[in-house]
C-alpha cells in the first residue's frame, strides 16, 4: 500500500496545492446520503472528509453545521487517495474506476447504491454502522426512523398524491418515496399518468387531472426558478381541488435520517384530511 501512495503522489504532485487538508487514517465519504448517516452515528473525529454535495445547502442531507467543519471530497481517485483514508464510504455518485483504483491501493472501500425500500435503507445504515464499529449507534438511528413512521395504515381510502420535483420528475412505483407515500395513507398518482419509477410529468397533463395533494418545492434558483414560476401560475387553475405542500428537492435525494423529515411532512398533510366515518 505504501508503494501505491508514493506512485500516486508522483503523478499528482502538481495538484496538491488545491487538495483539501484531510487528517490521514480516517473515514472519508464522497456521498451525501452516507454523510447524513455519519452525522448521526460517527464518533467525533472519526470522519475526516465528506462529499462536496454536503457543503451545498441545496443538496446537503447532513446538517450543514456538521459537514461544514470537514473538508469536502469529490469522486476522483486521486483526491481520495491523497486523503490517505483507512476507509472510504462511497455510493452511486462515484465512478467504478475510482473504486477500482482504491482497491488497487489497498484502501478499504464500502460502496452503497440507492435503496428503493425502507427495509433496504435500514440495512444500508447497518452496513455503514458495522464498517465504523458503531453498531449500537446504527440501531439507535434505525429505531428513531421506525418510530417516525405510522404503525398502521390509516383507515379510509388513500389520498391521491404525487411528489413532483424541479425539472418535472415524479417519484413513481419502485422508489423509496412511493413506499413512504403508501405508508402514510397516500396513493401515488404517478401510475394514473402512466409514469415509471422516475419520469417527467408534463404540467398540462397534471392540470387536466390533478391529484388531491402535490408535494413540490416552492422555491428554486436559476433556470429552475423560471420553470417553477410558470408551474405555479398554471397550478392556480386547479383551485381548491388540490393541496400544494412545500417539499424541497433535497428531501428526495436520500433515505436515512431524511426519512424522518419526510415522514413528518407526510403525516401532517395526511392528518389534514378527515378520517373515514364508520
pLDDT confidence of residue 220: 63
Region 35-51 average pLDDT: 97
User: What structural domains does the chain harbor?
Assistant: 2-147 (3.40.50.1980), 159-271 (3.40.50.1980)
29/203: higher pLDDT: 29
Q: Is the pLDDT of residue 1 over 50?
A: no
Is pLDDT at 180 greater than 50 in this prediction?
A: yes
The cell numbers describing 180, all together, are 413512504
User: Is the separation of the CB atoms in 163 and 266 below 8 Å?
Assistant: no
- Per-residue pLDDT reduced to its tens digit, 131-173: 999 999 999 999 999 999 998 766 678 999 999 888 888 999 9
Rounded Cα gap, residues 26 and 198, in angstroms = 36
DSSP state of 25: S
pLDDT of the residue at 214: 92
With contact defined as beta carbons under 8 Å apart, do 269 and 212 qualify? Answer: no
Instruction: Using a pLDDT cut of 90, give the percent of the chain over it.
Output: 54
Three-state DSSP class for residue 270: helix
Q: What percent of the chain has pLDDT over 70?
A: 84
What lies within 8 Å, CB to CB, of 47 at 6+ separation is 26, 27, 28, 29, 38, 70
Q: Per-residue pLDDT for 17 more than 60?
A: no
11: confidence class by pLDDT, cuts 50, 70, 90? very low
For the cut 70, the answer to whether the pLDDT of residue 241 exceeds it is yes
Yes or no: say if 141 and 155 are a contact pair by the CB < 8 Å rule.
Answer: no
Burial group, residue 39, by CB count within 10 angstroms (0-12, 13-18, 19+) = buried
The model's pLDDT over 80-115, given as tens digits with 9 standing for 90+, comes to: 888 899 999 998 555 567 888 888 888 999 999 889
What are the Cα distances from residue 156, in Å, to 153, 180, 187?
9, 17, 12
Burial pattern 105-119, b for ≥16 Cβ within 10 A else e, equals bebebbbbeebbebe
Distance in angstroms (rounded) separating the CA atoms of residues 168 and 128: 32
E strands present in the chain: 27-29, 47-51, 72-73, 87-91, 108-112, 159-163, 169-171, 186-188, 198-200, 213-216, 243-246
The rounded mean pLDDT for the chain is: 85
13 vs 107, more confident: 107
Report how far residue 141's alpha carbon sits from residue 121's, in angstroms, rounded to the nearest whole number. Answer: 12
Please state which of the ranges 128-132, 138-142, 241-245 shows the lowest mean pLDDT: 241-245
Sign, CA torsion 154/212/161/215? negative
Q: From residue 139, give the alpha-carbon distance in Å to each of 19, 185, 199.
A: 35, 26, 34
pLDDT of residue 19: 56
Residue ranges of E strands in 164-264: 169-171, 186-188, 198-200, 213-216, 243-246
Amino acid at each position: 500500500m505504501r508503494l501505491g501512495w508514493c506512485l500516486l503522489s508522483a503523478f499528482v504532485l502538481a495538484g496538491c496545492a488545491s487538495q483539501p487538508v484531510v487528517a490521514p487514517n480516517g473515514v472519508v465519504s464522497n456521498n451525501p446520503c452516507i454523510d447524513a448517516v455519519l452525522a448521526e452515528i460517527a464518533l467525533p473525529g472519526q470522519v475526516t472528509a465528506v462529499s462536496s454535495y454536503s457543503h451545498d445547502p441545496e443538496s446537503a442531507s447532513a446538517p450543514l453545521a456538521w459537514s461544514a467543519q470537514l473538508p469536502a471530497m469529490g469522486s476522483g481517485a486521486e483526491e481520495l487517495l491523497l486523503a490517505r483514508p483507512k476507509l472510504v464510504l462511497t455510493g452511486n455518485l462515484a465512478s467504478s474506476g475510482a473504486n477500482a483504483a482504491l482497491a488497487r491501493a489497498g484502501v478499504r472501500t464500502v460502496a452503497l447504491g440507492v435503496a428503493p425500500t425502507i427495509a433496504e435503507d435500514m440495512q444500508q445504515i447497518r452496513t455503514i454502522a458495522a464498517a465504523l464499529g458503531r453498531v449500537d449507534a446504527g440501531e439507535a438511528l434505525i429505531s428513531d426512523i421506525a418510530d417516525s413512521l405510522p404503525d398502521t395504515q390509516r383507515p379510509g381510502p388513500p389520498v391521491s398524491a404525487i411528489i413532483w420535483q424541479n425539472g418535472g420528475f415524479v417519484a413513481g412505483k419502485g422508489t423509496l418515496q412511493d413506499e413512504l407515500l403508501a405508508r402514510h395513507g397516500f396513493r401515488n398518482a404517478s401510475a394514473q399518468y402512466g409514469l415509471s419509477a422516475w419520469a417527467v410529468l408534463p404540467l398540462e397533463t397534471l392540470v387536466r387531472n390533478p391529484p388531491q395533494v402535490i408535494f413540490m418545492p416552492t422555491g428554486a434558483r436559476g433556470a429552475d426558478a423560471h420553470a417553477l414560476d410558470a408551474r405555479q401560475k398554471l397550478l392556480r387553475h386547479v383551485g381548491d381541488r388540490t393541496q400544494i405542500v412545500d417539499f424541497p428537492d433535497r428531501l428526495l435525494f436520500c433515505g436515512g435520517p431524511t426519512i424522518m423529515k419526510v415522514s413528518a411532512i407526510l403525516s401532517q398533510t395526511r392528518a389534514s384530511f378527515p378520517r373515514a366515518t364508520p
